[in-house]
């Protein structure tokens, strides 16, 4: 009881610290889904290419600071935009190359540098966009390489949001099935597929059909609270040993989910090619790059009228740093609890009889339900824009039929595809590497208006090669 009270008190304190007003939650919601969880899933995370913005007051006096989002609010928004549902797969990324607890050392040696590189490419997209007059990821690419080539980022974003939708369906299905078991629901309702069908028909599809998504702002609050609670819950269970041999819930989970630790050997060295699975997952876990031009545009400029690039770089470093700290914590807590048995969706390792785990599943599932229509809106509009039919989206028939078709195809796929780790890893290897490493580097190289120095462009040539290498080897290892 003492541990539970401490967990809830800590959760309330952290949620209060991270919570924003409804207006702030809507300020920068024009960006990526969550692959990660995941998606974010984030989707951010969880995290969708079409977002909402509120209107600022027009009555500000001349003496007030310039309009825009403050540095602090931008940092919090960026961290929330990065951390999505994909973070729940990172422990499995560590387990992909080792069952030794020491594996967390190379895991963090991967997590931190990739976060720094991701922050750099996020900043470079905004710099190039500002130099060429691009107000979105796609627009910046088109201004650098021409409108005809814009199909490359279009297709990549579309497939990334499709992967995010499948991840969302898997997570909500597994989460509600586990909750149903906890409350003693009928056997039919304890299967993930039953919940995928029910939620798709009666919740996800109706929400996706909404034209005005402003009422979904509460989902941002729920998403933040759910992620923070999950991190605290996982830390508590690691601390109290409930899932260690002889622990309270050890016998309540399947043999495949029970902790499995083993020292590295000559046959299975600590450093091996399986590390590219984690590297691939991190490409999508850090993905917020669709939003870079919008974050830069909405950031409040300095009062003296000087460039806002220095404060934008501060936002990048702090935002990605905060996201890395939260992702690293969840990755470490999950892996230190279950080791090589860490599953693609780490919450599946926890017993259905564990009430605190049930609350974590509920929080994550509700976050995803609110994020799903944002992701679907971005996917729908991306498809229409790619085919030059964006105006057709205003027609009710097109809106309904396209949304229905996408929900049927993607959520129907989740009835058969169950490996969240595979989707996050494979999507990150191919699509995430393109959006986070390859495309930003190519835009920096191709930009001719002085945003990048010649030396920095050479660095981006190396980053392009690394992105291609990560994509190919990461995809191969994920498929293995």
Per-residue model confidence as pLDDT tens digits over 127-170: 999 999 998 899 999 999 999 999 999 999 899 889 889 989 99
Q: What is the mean pLDDT of residues 56-68?
A: 50
* Cβ atoms of 446 and 227 closer than 8 Å: no
The answer, yes or no, to whether residue 29 has pLDDT greater than 70, is: no
Residues 6+ apart with CB under 8 A from 464: 437, 438, 441, 442, 445
Residue 45's pLDDT is what?
A: 37
pLDDT at 23: 33
180-198: average pLDDT: 94
Q: Where does 14-74 show beta strands of DSSP type E?
A: 40-45
Q: Over 60: is that where the pLDDT of 257 sits?
A: yes
Determine the 3-state secondary structure of 43 from DSSP. Answer: strand
CA quadruple 363, 368, 369, 374: dihedral sign = positive
Closest CA to 284 of 156, 105, 412: 156
Cis peptide before 42 (omega within 30 of 0): yes
Q: What is the DSSP letter of 260?
A: B
pLDDT of residue 401: 97
Mean pLDDT in residue range 238-255: 96
pLDDT of residue 281 exceeding 60, the answer is: yes
Please give the pLDDT value at position 64. 56
Structure confidence at residue 66 (pLDDT): 63
Q: Is the pLDDT at 428 greater than 50, yes or no?
A: yes
The DSSP call for residue 253 is: S
Using alpha carbons, select from 209, 163, 153 the residue that is nearest to residue 33. 163
Is residue 318 within 8 A of residue 469, CB to CB? The reply is: no
Residue entry with tokens 């046959």: 267
pLDDT of residue 442: 96
Please tell me which residue, 43 or 248, carries the higher pLDDT value.
248
**Domains of the chain from N-terminus onward:** 2-53+68-479 (1.20.1740)
> Rounded distance, CA 228 to CA 348, Å?
18
Whether the predicted pLDDT of 27 surpasses 70 = no
* pLDDT tens track for 342-380: 999 999 999 999 999 999 999 999 989 988 998 898 899
Whole-number Å distance between alpha carbons of 3 and 5 = 6
- Per-residue pLDDT, averaged over 86-94, amounts to 93
User: What average pLDDT does the chain have?
Assistant: 84
Cα–Cα–Cα angle for 402, 404, 406, rounded to 5 degrees: 70
What CA–CA distance (Å, rounded) separates 180 from 195?
10
Output the six-digit token pair for 169.
């369906």
Q: What is the pLDDT of residue 385?
A: 84
Q: What is the mean pLDDT of residues 72-89?
A: 87
pLDDT of 424 reads 76
The Cα-based distances of 455 to 80, 115, 179, 310 in angstroms read 33, 22, 55, 20
- The owner of tokens 């974010």 is 40
């Amino acid at each position: 009881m003492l541990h539970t009270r401490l967990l809830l008190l800590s959760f309330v304190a952290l949620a209060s610290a991270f919570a924003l007003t409804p207006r702030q939650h809507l300020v920068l919601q024009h960006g990526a889904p969550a692959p990660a969880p995941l998606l974010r899933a984030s989707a951010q995370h969880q995290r969708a290419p079409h977002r909402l913005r509120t209107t600022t007051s027009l009555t500000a006096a001349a003496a007030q600071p310039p309009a825009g989002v403050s540095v602090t609010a931008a940092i919090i928004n960026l961290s929330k935009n990065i951390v999505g549902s994909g973070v729940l797969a990172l422990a499995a990324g560590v387990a992909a190359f080792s069952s030794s607890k020491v594996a967390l050392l190379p895991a963090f040696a991967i997590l931190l540098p990739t976060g720094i590189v991701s922050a750099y490419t996020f900043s470079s997209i905004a710099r190039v966009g500002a130099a060429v007059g691009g107000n979105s990821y796609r627009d910046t690419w088109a201004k650098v390489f021409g409108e005809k080539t814009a199909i490359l980022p279009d297709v990549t974003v579309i497939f990334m949001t499709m992967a995010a939708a499948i991840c969302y369906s898997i997570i909500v299905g597994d989460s509600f099935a586990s909750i149903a078991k906890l409350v003693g629901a009928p056997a039919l309702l304890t299967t993930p597929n039953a919940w995928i069908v029910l939620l798709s028909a009666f919740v996800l599809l109706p929400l996706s059909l909404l034209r005005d998504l402003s009422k979904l702002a509460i989902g941002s609050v729920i998403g933040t609270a759910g992620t923070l609670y999950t991190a605290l819950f996982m830390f508590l269970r690691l601390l109290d040993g409930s899932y260690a041999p002889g622990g309270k819930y050890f016998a309540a989970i399947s043999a495949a989910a029970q902790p499995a630790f083993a020292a590295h050997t000559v046959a299975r060295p600590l450093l091996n090619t399986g590390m590219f699975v984690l590297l691939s997952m991190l490409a999508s876990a850090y993905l917020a790059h669709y939003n870079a031009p919008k974050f830069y545009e909405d950031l409040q400029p300095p009062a003296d009228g000087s460039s806002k690039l220095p404060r934008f770089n501060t936002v990048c470093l702090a935002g990605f740093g905060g996201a890395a700290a939260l992702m690293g914590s969840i990755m470490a807590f999950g892996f230190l609890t279950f080791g090589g048995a860490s599953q693609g969706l780490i919450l599946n390792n926890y017993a259905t009889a564990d009430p605190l785990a049930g609350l974590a599943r509920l929080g994550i599932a509700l976050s995803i339900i609110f994020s799903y229509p944002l992701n679907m809106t971005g996917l729908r509009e991306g498809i229409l824009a790619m085919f030059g039919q964006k105006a057709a989206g205003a027609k009710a028939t097109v809106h309904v039929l396209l949304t229905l078709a996408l929900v049927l195809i993607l959520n129907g796929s989740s009835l058969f595809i169950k490996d969240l780790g595979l989707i996050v890893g494979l999507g990150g290897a191919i699509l995430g590497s393109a959006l986070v490493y390859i495309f930003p580097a190519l835009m920096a190289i191709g930009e001719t208006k002085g945003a990048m120095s010649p030396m920095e462009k050479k660095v981006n040539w190396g980053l392009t090669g690394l992105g291609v290498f990560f994509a190919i080897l990461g995809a191969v290892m994920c498929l293995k």
